[in-house]
Structure 1
Amino acid sequence: MEAGTWAVVVAAAAAYLAWFWRMSRGLSGPRVWPLVGSLPGLLQHAEDMHEWIVGNLRRTGGTYQTCIFAVPGVARRGGLVTVTCDPRNLEHVLKARFDNYPKGPFWHGVFSDLLGDGIFNSDGDTWVAQRKTAALEFTTRTLRTAMSRWVSRSIHHRMLPILSDAAASGAHVDLQDLLLRLTFDNICGLAFGKDPETLARGLPENAFATSFDSATEATLNRFIFPECVWRCKKWLGLGMETTLARSVAHVDRYLSAVIKTRKLELAGKSDGSTPHDDLLSRFMRKGTYSDDSLQHVALNFILAGRDTSSVALSWFFWLVSTHPDVERKIVRELCAVLAASRGADDPALWLAAPSEPHDSYRFVAFNAGPRICLGKDLAYLQMKNIAGSILLRHRLAVAPGHRVEQKMSLTLFMKHGLRMVGGCVCKCEVKHTTRSSDYFLDGPVGPGLLILPRSISGVLIAGSSLLMALLHEVEMRSVYIAVVHLKVV
């Protein structure tokens, strides 16, 4: 090699090392290597990514910056990453200087194939328009009533029979899978009025649900690897990019058919007919959205309402099963709320604010600031209804030998699911009291369910769907049906 060439190589190497030294000395996170940045650490901890990030945050006081790809130019276009859990920083980003922190081209590029210009993948006027429309719809009582109807049907006609059958046979169930199916059915019904019936008997496979799962998993890979890597794989049709393209194509075909059908239904409806109360129909009636935009609206709300609630419930049931004292307290509170309601089947029962509200910048599950989750109340309504219905009827425990581990995904899935086993706790012994007309049930929540004969129940009968369904599961004479008093001891 000629001296001139050597001089160029040495000069380039020296310039790079000088740049790398200046860039890396200000980084406080995991070790950054020349060229490959912190990518070796990411790959090394692919199986325990969350614990690794938490460890880095603890060592750095809650905020650190790293460089995933240490190449001049590339680093500034997405290689430099700031990670923080400091509530003050979160408030700065999410509220105080909200306009300074848009989703940006990197985020939009990662999600563009799946979510397009939907509300979770847009900025500026596009986001503002969708946010205003969605905010108006999410504040209506009609939408809460629709969610309550979908949830109640899914719980009582699908989830509870499956759990009861498993309890009777002593079989294990993957509760995470059941919850994912339940919330998927619910959110599809709420988003575009179509029930995919993934929680039907036999737990059938659904091509739309499978494609949606594959698309979200493939999208996650774009976050892990530098933009130039996944764009190259997309151009060459390699790896998960092929899966993403195939899955998104199937999702597009499915939703296109739904939108076409719904447009025909809305066009053919007379003024006196009952309007559709799903989100898609509500956006269609605005008359300002193209088919592609409507498709992105539906997909964005499915992503927001499906995995989030079901995964949160999975971890909830795991924690409850490992803390029986907490389970007893929750059941007592459920019974107290239902007793105080005097049988009123009102969704607002599950929307009461906590006595000590949490700092939204410390607990950011629902985001905060202008982008705070519009469906927060609907999520609480769904999760509390599901949790209450199951806890009142079943005592679940993690199956022996089952490992509960976190999975690297867009939401915090359990890697191996949540295999649980348990029995129905509502098959209680009926005992006579001193008065022949009174009956008490002894169960895991203690004595106190007072049952009266049908002939004198009259105005005292409780109409709560939860308690009435509870009584139907108890093995006793059919004439004793009314809950008129409840005291948990």
Structure 2
Amino acid sequence: MGLILGYAEIILAIVCFLFMWSFRNMNSQMPWNWPLLGMLPSLFLHVHRFHERCADVLEWSGGTFLLRGPWFSNMDILGTVDPANVHFIMSANFANFPKGPEFKKIFEVLGDGIFNTDLDLWTNQRKQARALLNHERFRKFLIKTSWEKVEKGLIPVLEHVAKQGFVVDLQDLFQRFTFDTTCILVTGYDPGCVSIEFPDVPFSKAMDEAEEAIFMRHCLPESVWKLQKWLCIGHEHKLTKAWGVLDDVIGKYVSMKRKELSQSRKSDGDEEGLDLLTSYINEDEGMGLDCDDKFLRDTILNFMIAGRDTTSSALTWFLWLVSTHPEVEKKIREELNSILQPKEGEKWKLFKVEELKNLVYLHSALCESLRLYPPVPFQHKAPVQPVILPSGHYVNPKMKVMFSLYAMGRMGFIWGKDSKEFKPERWITDRGTIKYEPSYKFLAFNAGPRTCLGKEVAFTQLKSVASAIIHNYQIQVVEGHPVTPNVSVILYMKHGLKVKVTKRWT
């Protein structure tokens, strides 16, 4: 009996010690490196505020921090916001940091699309995507589509909620808007999600659930999430169901397009047939790509994520920032008023793309919003060969290097003491022009050879929507509505953006 009591006292002492140890480190600034588990407990303790936690740790550590994963899991991650490291990885040493097989496992739902591929397959896809996106016909199609969806989709909804005095979730509305426009530009079909009926959108819900599951794959050992997948539980079960929805919807679009094109071939001079899906199918042989249904499925999904998610995220955070910073809102309105014709006066108006392209303050405010709230808040790379980064940190092929774009925008050593403030003026030179910031410092549109091809597409839509809303309506966030980032690979607001809309003009 005495021996049993002795063992019990020892076990109790160990439990008390571990409890006190964990309690002390739960409240410490830096993650604690546990035996066997590494820093995984700290990661999950703060996972609900992952982006803010990254910013805190990287600020405390001077810009670079090694997160130790569980033993034997190959989950060591070097987090960095050092611009020299970013430039080295994204540009100077680009070939040594491909997306790689580990990235493709985590993002497997994207298939062999442009975000997942490397080497010749990526090069060919990027070449063709650049040619299509930069084509004058596509640009005209983009401007026409954006204008019509603002005029006939977004504005009627805003007029309706303003007249009725309803509370509307702007994030949901922007997701619907960008889903419609992206779907039209990519497939040629309008799903009609922007309407006063607010119809259910299974595709959008599936994308959200897939992105949340992808995020969790970053936090768990591969063996754990693969077990969840095999058991059909948790986020992996949601991902499987979401994957089916995405395949089904995209498959229908591809089938409809093939049938449409087989029945009626349109000449190059026609206004219709400018969507990317039509271009890929019609120019299959000339592109040097095998545009079978699998390729088209992967390509469409990659474009949909790029167009729908990033732009709607950017719009949501931008309108929230502007509506909560009256001095910025006033300056944007003054700039919009400055391009009105004398005969127009101050009244209801939708601005054309050409009218907005030279507005310095609007562009600066958008860049500032993207700096603080980048739609893709983090990304990771892994080296093929071991290498020492400019910061002096060693990385090998069994490690990941993660950039926190969310944290980069909040670092005083990068952006100055006022780095956490929303200050569009930081983007304006003394001459009154847009100030250039290198991509390895402002990473919202990526950097190096993988710089975003859709940057101009994004700014076209952002300016069209932002100008229409800011000039014509007053947006007021519902009192007490919580605004906090979600936990996903796309930076959305966890609870949406609930606002009331009032008209500025009768």
Pick which of 178-187 and 142-151 moved more: 142-151
The amino acid that maps onto 2:176 is R
- Report the Cα offset of residue 150 of structure 1: 1.8
Q: 1:401 to 1:233 in 2, by over 3 A?
A: same
Name the residue aligned to 1:98. 94
Structure 2 residue corresponding to 1:297, chosen from 291, 296, 299: 299
- Report the Cα offset of residue 179 of structure 1: 0.6
- Report the Cα offset of residue 168 of structure 1: 2.0
Name the residue aligned to 1:34. 35
Name the residue aligned to 2:257. 262
CA distance, structure 1, for counterparts of residue 342 and residue 453 of structure 2: 29
Name the residue aligned to 1:366. 445
User: Is the Cα contact below 8 Å between 2:212 and 2:487 reproduced in 1?
Assistant: no
User: Is the Cα contact below 8 Å between 1:188 and 1:302 reproduced in 2?
Assistant: yes
Stretches of structure 2 that go unaligned for 5 or more consecutive residues are 1-28, 285-289, 364-432
CA distance, structure 1, for counterparts of residue 166 and residue 260 of structure 2: 43
Pick which of 335-344 and 263-272 moved more: 335-344
Name the residue aligned to 1:326. 328
CA distance, structure 2, for counterparts of residue 271 and residue 419 of structure 1: 44
Using the size of structure 2 for normalisation, the TM-score is 0.74
Using the size of structure 1 for normalisation, the TM-score is 0.77
User: Is the Cα contact below 8 Å between 1:187 and 1:306 reproduced in 2?
Assistant: yes
- Report the Cα offset of residue 272 of structure 1: 4.0
Name the residue aligned to 1:437. none
Structure 2 residue corresponding to 1:217, chosen from 203, 212, 225: 212
- Report the Cα offset of residue 297 of structure 1: 0.4
Aligned-residue sequence identity (percent) comes to 36
- Deviation digits for residues 122-161 of structure 1 (CA, Å, limit 9, x no counterpart): 1111111100000111111222221222221221112112
CA distance, structure 1, for counterparts of residue 253 and residue 342 of structure 2: 42
Stretches of structure 1 that go unaligned for 5 or more consecutive residues are 1-27, 428-489
Residue 280 (str. 1) matches residue 277 (str. 2): yes
Q: 1:40 to 1:181 in 2, by over 3 A?
A: same
The amino acid that maps onto 2:440 is Y
Residue 162 (str. 1) matches residue 157 (str. 2): yes
Aligned residues: 394
The amino acid that maps onto 1:38 is M
Name the residue aligned to 1:317. 319
- Deviation digits for residues 232-266 of structure 1 (CA, Å, limit 9, x no counterpart): 11122222212111211121122112112211222
Name the residue aligned to 2:9. none
Aligned residue runs from structure 1 range 112-127, under 5 A: 112=108, 114-127=109-122
> What SS does the aligned partner of 1:370 have?
helix
User: Is the Cα contact below 8 Å between 1:361 and 1:368 reproduced in 2?
Assistant: yes
Bigger radius of gyration among the two: 1
CA distance, structure 1, for counterparts of residue 262 and residue 117 of structure 2: 30
Name the residue aligned to 1:65. 66
Name the residue aligned to 2:494. 415
Structure 2 residue corresponding to 1:110, chosen from 99, 106, 114: 106
CA distance, structure 2, for counterparts of residue 154 and residue 224 of structure 1: 38
- Deviation digits for residues 101-127 of structure 1 (CA, Å, limit 9, x no counterpart): 111111100111x21010001111111
Residue 88 (str. 1) matches residue 84 (str. 2): yes
User: Is the Cα contact below 8 Å between 2:266 and 2:273 reproduced in 1?
Assistant: no
Pick which of 261-270 and 334-343 moved more: 334-343
- Report the Cα offset of residue 215 of structure 1: 2.0
Residue 44 (str. 1) matches residue 45 (str. 2): yes
- Report the Cα offset of residue 412 of structure 1: 1.2
Q: 1:344 to 1:221 in 2, by over 3 A?
A: closer
The amino acid that maps onto 1:425 is R
Q: 1:116 to 1:340 in 2, by over 3 A?
A: farther
CA distance, structure 2, for counterparts of residue 44 and residue 324 of structure 1: 36
**Pairwise CA RMSD of aligned residues?**
2.1
Q: 1:337 to 1:31 in 2, by over 3 A?
A: farther
Name the residue aligned to 1:187. 182
User: Is the Cα contact below 8 Å between 2:333 and 2:470 reproduced in 1?
Assistant: yes
CA distance, structure 1, for counterparts of residue 463 and residue 472 of structure 2: 14
- Report the Cα offset of residue 291 of structure 1: 0.8
